């Protein structure tokens, strides 16, 4: 077993990368990918902290939930992106500005 | 309000009637329709008759009694109260009697004289206004009211001189009288201001009670005398009076012989104690100069009314001299007698003019009826006027047994007493006064001789109608009043009839009798030698002198004033204006830059803050996320450290 800190550092790195992708990338699909990355970083954390109390399965169960929620969210998000693309012929959120001003 | 208990209600009613009925006459004559203007010829003399009778009652009530006083607050300016009221002593009552009686007689006479005149109503209205304002001067208890009356008589005199305003000479004469009177009145007004500054009161009774003499009193009394100079036609403002003869003759009799021109003399007598010895010296010198100029000018005139006008100036000068010699009582007696005989002379001259005008209409001839060179031998054609003229003329000349003799005697006695035994300049004044009485005799004789004696000139071919009765009655009454009996029972001594305390000197009386008889003899010897001196005809060129003065001195002065205005005052004003504009610009800059700038600065600051804040929410989702995360990180750092 390698120490927990390594896992935590990896998770933090993944989370930061995901956040950076969300902020920097223009395309909606890339933003959704960033979100997935951040969810996986949190999953990594849940699994790592579960190792401190192995007799309980809370962390692993929660990770499963998060994976399920992430799948649903990705499905809904992609659906919205598809609809938006059909209507506006673009998937860049900044160009969709009908409600502004 | 205060009044004396010793006077009955009847007296007060009479006083009120005497004062207000002329005003009623004025208002009635103004209000009545042109169609009924004949009614004025009944109402106006009737109202004046009642007024005259009432003043007779007033006169006899006041005689030998305490003066009647009545005053009430007129107006309050700041904390100063101006009062209005009457102060009736024997002097005022006598003057009131003179004014109302002569005014009544002139009203009566005017019915005949002005018959058929287009301005009949206006004429009687103005006579009423004049009489009322004259009474105001006579009775008023303070100088402010006197000044108001003073201006009103000036105005009505102006209206009446210019009664025949179609005649350019009449309009010009009216204007001249008005302007010269204004010059005098300016002095009067200054005098009133000085008086108010030092005394704080215009009351005549307090004025007479001032003890001691001071410098300001001399100044104030000389300023008031300046007003008298204008109104009473004294040197150098005397030239308006001869020109004023352009008015109707009854007006000349009432205003320019008997009453208004005497108002100045009356005022000086009324406030006599106020005059300082220095002022009185000036007064006596001005008086004697006027008197001599008037008498000499009367000698050179050919117009019958102008002779009388210059004679009036001369007699007024004599009264003023008498005041200057500190004998106001003598001056008043002369004023009193002069009012009657001079009014009589004027009305008689008016009768001659009236008759001749009518005759001219009948016979279609034309000549100047006022020029005595055209008349002559009228004693047979107009016997009544001749008799009247002779009586009043004798009184004017100062023959014994006439009122003029007594009053002149009083003046001469006063002058001799005043001059004293020592030789001084005062004896020049006395000699001047004697010369004036001599000249008076000469010009009166000359006038009567040329008009009534000798051969007829231009009147020989015409038939002269006698004047109507309404014109003869006033003449006869006034002629009777020229006899000595009007002021004294004794034809040589002033008895207690009007004035008790007058010095009498037999020396002077005898001297003046001899003097007058000598003058009569000289006048008879020189009766046909007409004085050809132009200087007399033009009254020493006083008019020309004034005109020259206005043309050269006054216009130069005006030019200088205008240059000073342009050179000094205008640049100063312009400089001030520029400075003001500059200050305005500075203020404007200050307003724009600092006041507006502060406000604008605030708004742009707020706008800047707003736009900065707004820039956080420009609809970019990822920026929102960035800012939220950024904030959370800041927050975490803040809490954890």
pLDDT reading at B494 higher than 70: no
Q: Which residue of B has its CA nearest to A100?
A: B619
Neighboring chain A residues of B621 at a CB cutoff of 8 Å: 93-94
CA distance A83 to B294: 130
For B418, half-sphere exposure in the C-beta direction (CA atoms, 13 angstrom radius) is 28
Neighboring chain A residues of B620 at a CB cutoff of 8 Å: 94
CA distance B454 to B287: 36
User: Which range is least confidently modeled, B128-142, B153-167, B607-621?
Assistant: B607-621
pLDDT reading at B70 higher than 80: yes
pLDDT reading at B503 higher than 80: no
Residue B79 CA from chain centroid, whole number: 31
Residue B57 vs residues B53, B94, B232: alpha-carbon distances, Å: 7, 11, 29
Q: Which of A23, A94, A97 sits opposite B625 (nearest CB)?
A: A23
Question: What average pLDDT does range B230-248 have in this prediction?
Answer: 85
Neighboring chain A residues of B631 at a CB cutoff of 8 Å: none
Q: Min CA distance, B604 vs chain A (Å)? A: 23
Count Cβ atoms below 10 Å from residue A7 Cβ, excluding itself.
16
Question: What average pLDDT does range B382-408 have in this prediction?
Answer: 86
Which of the residues B619, B627, B628, B629 would you substitute to probe the A interface, choosing the one with the greatest number of A C-beta atoms within 10 Å? B619
| DSSP letter assigned to residue B453 | S
Q: What is the largest distance, in Å, between two alpha-carbon atoms of chain B?
A: 149
B633 touches chain A (CB under 8 A): no
B615 touches chain A (CB under 8 A): no
pLDDT score of B204 = 82
Task: Inspect the interface and report whether the beta carbons of A97 and B622 lie closer than 8 Å.
Answer: no
Task: Inspect the interface and report whether the beta carbons of B621 and A93 lie closer than 8 Å.
Answer: yes
Q: How far apart are the first and last CA of chain B?
A: 101
pLDDT bin (cut points 50, 70, 90) of residue A1 is: low
Let me know: does B354 contact B112? Beta carbons within 8 Å: yes
A51-93 pLDDT per residue, tens: 888 888 888 899 999 999 999 999 999 999 999 999 888 888 8
Task: Inspect the interface and report whether the beta carbons of B619 and A23 lie closer than 8 Å.
Answer: no
Task: Inspect the interface and report whether the beta carbons of A94 and B626 lie closer than 8 Å.
Answer: no
Residue B449 CA from chain centroid, whole number: 33
B621 touches chain A (CB under 8 A): yes
Residue B121 vs residues A58, B37, B150, B519: alpha-carbon distances, Å: 133, 6, 23, 45
Residue B86's H or E segment, with its range, is strand B80-88
Of B245, B267, B264, B266, nearest in space to B256 by CA? B245
Q: Which of A22, A94, A100 sits opposite B625 (nearest CB)?
A: A22
pLDDT bin (cut points 50, 70, 90) of residue B3 is: very low
Number of Cβ pairs closer than 8 Å across A and B?
17
Question: What average pLDDT does range B265-279 have in this prediction?
Answer: 88
pLDDT bin (cut points 50, 70, 90) of residue B531 is: low
pLDDT score of B607 = 94
pLDDT score of B1 = 39
Task: Inspect the interface and report whether the beta carbons of B622 and A22 lie closer than 8 Å.
Answer: yes
Question: What average pLDDT does range B52-75 have in this prediction?
Answer: 84
Task: Inspect the interface and report whether the beta carbons of A93 and B622 lie closer than 8 Å.
Answer: yes
Neighboring chain B residues of A97 at a CB cutoff of 8 Å: 619
Neighboring chain A residues of B626 at a CB cutoff of 8 Å: 23
A16-46 pLDDT per residue, tens: 999 999 988 888 899 999 999 999 999 999 9
Task: Inspect the interface and report whether the beta carbons of B626 and A31 lie closer than 8 Å.
Answer: no
CA distance B81 to B552: 45
Let me know: does A7 contact A44? Beta carbons within 8 Å: yes
pLDDT score of B2 = 45
Do strands B68-77 and B80-88 pair parallel, antiparallel, or not at all (unpaired)? antiparallel
Q: Which residue of B has its CA nearest to A20?
A: B626
Token pair listed for B134: 């004259």
Residue B361 vs residues A18, B140, B350, B465: alpha-carbon distances, Å: 139, 47, 16, 12
Q: Which residue of A has its CA nearest to B619?
A: A100
Per the model's pLDDT, the better-predicted residue between B455 and B146 turns out to be B146
Q: What CA dihedral angle connects B193, B155, B308 and B473, to 10 degrees?
A: -120
Q: Which residue of A has its CA nearest to B623?
A: A23
Q: What is the largest distance, in Å, between two alpha-carbon atoms of chain A?
A: 57
List phi, psi (to 5°) of B105: -65, -40
Question: What average pLDDT does range B172-193 have in this prediction?
Answer: 89
Q: Which of B619, B622, B626 sits opposite A97 (nearest CB)?
A: B619
Which of the residues B614, B617, B622, B624 would you substitute to probe the A interface, choosing the one with the greatest number of A C-beta atoms within 10 Å? B622
Q: Min CA distance, A34 vs chain B (Å)? A: 12
What global pTM score does this model have? 0.73
Of B409, B410, B406, B412, nearest in space to B431 by CA? B412
Q: Which residue of B has its CA nearest to A94?
A: B620
Neighboring chain B residues of A31 at a CB cutoff of 8 Å: 622
Of B379, B407, B375, B229, nearest in space to B307 by CA? B375
pLDDT score of B583 = 95
The chain A residues in contact with chain B (CB within 8 A) are: 19, 22-24, 31, 93-94, 97, 100
Neighboring chain A residues of B619 at a CB cutoff of 8 Å: 94, 97, 100
Token pair listed for B191: 């005098």
């Amino acid at each position: 077993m390698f120490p927990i800190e390594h896992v935590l550092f990896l998770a933090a790195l993944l989370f930061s990368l995901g956040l950076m992708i969300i902020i920097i990338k223009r395309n909606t699909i890339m933003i959704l990918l960033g979100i997935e990355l951040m969810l996986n970083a949190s999953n990594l954390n849940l699994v790592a902290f579960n190792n401190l109390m192995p007799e309980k399965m809370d962390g692993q169960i929660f990770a499963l939930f998060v994976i399920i929620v992430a799948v649903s969210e990705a499905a809904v998000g992609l659906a919205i992106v598809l609809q938006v693309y059909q209507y506006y012929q673009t998937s860049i959120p900044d160009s969709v500005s009908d409600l502004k001003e | 309000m205060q009044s004396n208990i010793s006077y009955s209600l009847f007296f007060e009613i009479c006083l009120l009637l005497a004062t207000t009925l002329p005003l009623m006459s004025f208002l009635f004559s103004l209000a009545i329709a042109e169609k009924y203007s004949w009614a004025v010829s009944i109402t106006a003399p009737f109202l004046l008759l009642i007024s005259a009778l009432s003043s007779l009652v007033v006169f006899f009530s006041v005689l030998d009694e305490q003066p009647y006083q009545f005053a009430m607050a007129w107006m309050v300016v700041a904390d100063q109260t101006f009062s209005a009221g009457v102060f009736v002593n024997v002097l005022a009552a006598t003057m009131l009697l003179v004014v109302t009686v002569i005014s009544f007689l002139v009203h009566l006479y005017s019915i005949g004289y002005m018959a058929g005149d287009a301005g009949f109503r206006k004429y009687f209205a103005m006579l009423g206004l004049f009489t009322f304002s004259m009474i105001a001067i006579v009775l008023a208890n303070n100088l402010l009211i006197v000044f108001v009356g003073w201006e009103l008589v000036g105005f009505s005199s102006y209206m009446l001189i210019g009664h025949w305003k179609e005649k350019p000479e009449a309009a010009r004469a009216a204007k001249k009288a008005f302007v010269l009177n204004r010059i005098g009145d300016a002095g009067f007004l200054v005098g009133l201001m000085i008086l108010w500054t030092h005394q704080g009161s215009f009351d005549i009774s307090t004025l007479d009670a001032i003890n001691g003499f001071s410098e300001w009193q001399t100044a104030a009394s000389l300023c008031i005398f300046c007003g008298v100079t204008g109104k009473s036609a004294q040197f150098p403002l005397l030239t308006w009076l001869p020109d004023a003869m352009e008015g109707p003759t009854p007006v000349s009799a009432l205003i320019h012989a008997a009453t208004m021109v005497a108002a100045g003399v009356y005022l000086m007598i009324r406030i006599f104690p106020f005059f300082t010895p220095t002022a009185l010296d000036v007064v006596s010198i001005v008086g004697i100069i006027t008197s001599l100029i008037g008498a000499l000018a009367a000698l050179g005139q050919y117009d019958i009314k102008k002779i009388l006008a210059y004679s009036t100036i001369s007699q007024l000068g004599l009264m003023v001299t008498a005041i200057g010699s500190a004998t106001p009582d003598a001056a008043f007696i002369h004023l009193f007698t002069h009012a009657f005989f001079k009014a009589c002379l004027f009305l008689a001259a008016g009768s001659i003019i009236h008759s001749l005008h009518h005759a001219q209409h009948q016979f279609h001839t034309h000549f100047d009826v006022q020029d005595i060179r055209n008349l002559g031998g009228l004693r047979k054609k107009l016997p009544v006027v001749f008799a009247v003229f002779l009586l009043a003329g004798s009184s004017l000349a100062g023959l014994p047994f006439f009122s003029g003799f007594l009053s002149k005697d009083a003046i001469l006695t006063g002058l001799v007493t005043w001059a004293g035994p020592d030789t001084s300049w005062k004896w020049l004044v006395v000699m001047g006064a004697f010369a004036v009485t001599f000249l008076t005799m000469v010009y009166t004789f000359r006038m009567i001789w040329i008009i009534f004696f000798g051969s007829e000139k231009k009147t020989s071919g015409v038939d002269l109608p006698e004047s109507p009765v309404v014109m003869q009655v006033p003449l006869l009454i006034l002629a009777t009043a020229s006899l000595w009996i009007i002021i004294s029972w004794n034809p040589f001594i002033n008895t207690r009839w009007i004035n008790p305390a007058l010095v009498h000197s037999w020396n002077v009386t005898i001297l003046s009798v001899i003097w007058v008889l000598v003058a009569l003899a000289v006048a008879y010897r020189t009766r046909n030698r007409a004085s050809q001196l132009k200087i007399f005809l033009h009254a020493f060129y006083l008019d020309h002198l004034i005109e020259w003065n206005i043309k050269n001195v006054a216009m130069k002065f005006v030019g200088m004033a205008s240059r000073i205005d342009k050179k000094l005052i205008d640049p100063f004003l312009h400089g001030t204006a520029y400075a003001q504009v500059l200050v305005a610009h500075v203020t404007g800059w200050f307003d724009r830059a600092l006041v507006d700038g502060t406000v604008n600065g605030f708004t742009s600051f707020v706008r800047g803050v707003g736009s900065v804040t707004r820039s956080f929410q420009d609809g970019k989702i990822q920026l929102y996320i960035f800012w939220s995360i950024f904030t959370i990180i800041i927050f975490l750092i803040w809490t954890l450290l």
